[in-house]
Structure 1
Amino acid sequence: MDETETYAALTDVFRDVFEDDDLHLNADMTADDVEDWDSLSHMRLILSVEKAFGIHFSTVEVGSLNTVGDLVRLIRSKQS
């Protein structure tokens, strides 16, 4: 899966978790850029990403995420 495909799949996850079909991701996006992205929805998002991509994140990895771009890089590193 290349970066474009990762963003497309991740966009589907975000749209489902945040119930917003108009949501478009970019590498610099943070929780401040998405309405209703709070600590509870963050955990739902991480669990949904793990399920969608068939991967698992450690607590340290999740704690190091600051942007959507960070998440994409982490996903891709797990798929290599």
Structure 2
Amino acid sequence: MTEPTTLEQVQEIFRDVLADPDLTLTRETVADQVDGWDSLAHVSLMFSVENAFGIQLSDAEMSGLSDVGALVDVVDAKRG
């Protein structure tokens, strides 16, 4: 069995935080396309991503993400 991709792992985090087990994300998904992904949920999502991947996101990184793909790229870069 292969390791889940970062996108798959991020998707699981979003499903958990947003309480939507059927949520499907793509790299192009933006907040406006996801029910419940508002500014408050964004903070919870980012902290959950940090905890899950053992990374630290700067305020600029947290607020400057244009889509899920940008988040995946930042996570991958920080994980090395």
TM-score computed with the length of structure 1 as normaliser: 0.92
Return structure 1 stretches of 4+ with deviation > 6 angstroms.
Answer: none
2:47 aligned with 1:47: yes
Contact 2:7 / 2:27 at 8 angstroms: preserved in 1? no
- CA-atom RMSD, angstroms? 0.9
The residue type equivalent to 1:46 in the other structure is M
Who is 1:70 aligned against?
70
The residue type equivalent to 2:23 in the other structure is L
1:64 is displaced (CA, Å) by 1.5
Give me the whole-angstrom Cα distance separating, in 2, the residues matched to 1:36 and 1:62: 17
Count of residues in Structure 1 that have an aligned counterpart in Structure 2: 77
Give the number of the structure whose residues are more often helix, by fraction: 1
TM-score computed with the length of structure 2 as normaliser: 0.92
2:7 aligned with 1:7: yes
Give me the whole-angstrom Cα distance separating, in 2, the residues matched to 1:27 and 1:18: 18
Structure 2: runs of 5 or more not aligned: none
Give me the whole-angstrom Cα distance separating, in 2, the residues matched to 1:43 and 1:63: 9
Structure 1: runs of 5 or more not aligned: none
Matched residues, percent identical? Answer: 43
